[in-house]
Amino acid sequence: MADRGQSLPRNRVAALLGAAQPRYGEVHIRNRGRLPHWEKESGLYFITFRLADSLPPSVLKKAAERHGILAAAKTSGARLLPEQKAELADYSLRQIEAYCDRGSGSCALADARIAGATAAALRFRDGKHYRLLAWCIMPNHVHVVVRLLPGADLATVLKTWKQFSSKAANQVLGQSGRFWQREYYDRLIRNQQEYSRAIRYVVENPVKAGLKNWPWVWSADSEVRATAG
């Protein structure tokens, strides 16, 4: 098995990350729903989106409140009290990821027909509007590392992925209504270290969640083991 932590060649990293580090003025903050999204032209992103029933509304609300409190504290320069930090830690992104990895909700993506439709949605405009670098379809959520191509919009890309896959999923399940959560989590990747960490997280997520021989994981890096064709 290849070493998943092995670094990419420098010339390849430069091509993926871009020659210059992004400046704050190049980043646009858009608010949709409960979470703000940081968007950059031709940005490199780590993205997570989940099924509508993967998290109960109470957890979603607390997570959004946590994000708002942290953002307000950062803007004002205020320090959180120890008890505030302890309470907020229960709703950190890492804790939410762990919650999802335990298999909450219907886990409709465990159905190969639905996972396959989702993989097809991710691949459909690969090379046209974006470049896929790694993805993993878990039973109740999806991780993607992707580079947007010039002119592509993050929200539009996510909308396309969700619409295509949810239509196919609802046909398989014989149902209608919301299949995905409205919100998604995205993080701009700014350097090689963040890029390597994101790739490792995506390809190793099934193993860490206890899913043996999970087929729905892929990486463009030939040095990283991926199982999806």
CA dihedral (155, 104, 102, 93) positive or negative: positive
Does the residue 84 lie in any domain? yes
Whether the per-residue pLDDT at 9 is higher than 80: the answer is no
CA dist 189 and 47 (Å) reads: 10
Query: Is the residue at 225 inside a domain?
Result: no
Q: What is the pLDDT of residue 75?
A: 72
Residue 166 has pLDDT above 50, yes or no: yes
* pLDDT of 99 strictly over 70: no
Residue 37 above 60 pLDDT? Answer: no
Please write the tens of the pLDDT for every residue from 144-154: 999 999 999 99
Same domain, 142 and 32: yes
Q: What pLDDT score was predicted for residue 30? A: 43
Q: Confirm if 225 and 1 have CB atoms less than 8 A apart.
A: yes
pLDDT digits over 183-223, tens only?
A: 888 888 988 899 999 999 999 999 999 998 999 999 997 65
Which has more pLDDT, 95 or 144?
A: 144
Domain match, 47 and 26 both: yes
Q: What is the mean pLDDT of residues 25-47?
A: 55
| Lookup: tokens for 41 | 């032209």
> What is the rounded average pLDDT of the residues 64-88?
65
Total number of domains constituting the chain:
2
Q: What is the dihedral of CA 125, 130, 136, 138, to 10 degrees?
A: -60
Give the number of C-alpha atoms closer than 13 A to the C-alpha of residue 188, restricted to the C-beta side: 18
The residue ranking higher by pLDDT, 28 or 188, is 188
Tell me, yes or no, whether 168 and 83 share the same domain.
no
On the question of pLDDT at 163 being above 90, the answer is yes
Residues 156 and 96 in one domain: no
Torsion from C-alpha of 205, 210, 213, 217, nearest 10 degrees: -20
Q: What is the pLDDT of residue 181?
A: 87
Residue 5: inside a domain:
no
**Number of helices (H), then strands (E), in the chain:** 7, 7
Q: How far apart are CA 192 and CA 14, in angstroms?
A: 8
For residue 135, give every residue at least 6 positions away whose Cβ sits within 8 Å of its Cβ, in sequence order, or none: 119, 122, 142, 143, 144, 145, 146, 202, 217, 218, 228
Average pLDDT, the chain: 76
Judgement on whether residues 206 and 111 belong to the same structural domain of the protein: yes
- CATH number of the domain at 30, please: 3.30.70.1290
Biggest CA–CA distance in the chain, Å, is: 51
Terminal-residue alpha carbon distance, the chain: 17
Q: The tokens 């097809």 sit on which residue?
A: 120
Helices (H), the chain: 10-17, 57-76, 82-89, 93-101, 112-124, 154-173, 192-208
**Domain identity same for 17 and 74:** no
Residue 226 is assigned to a structural domain of this protein: no
pLDDT of 135 reads 97
Domain match, 157 and 88 both? no
Q: So what's the pLDDT on residue 85?
A: 60
> For residue 104, what pLDDT is reported?
72
More confident position, 169 or 2: 169
Indicate the pTM of the whole model.
0.68
Work out the pLDDT band at 142, boundaries 50, 70, 90.
very high
Q: Identify the pLDDT of residue 137.
A: 97
Domain that holds residue 67: 55-102
Q: Among residues 182, 192, 215, 188, which one has the least CA distance to residue 47? A: 188
The C-alpha atoms of residue 28 and residue 13 are separated, in whole angstroms, by 24
The confidence band for 84, taking pLDDT boundaries of 50, 70 and 90, is low
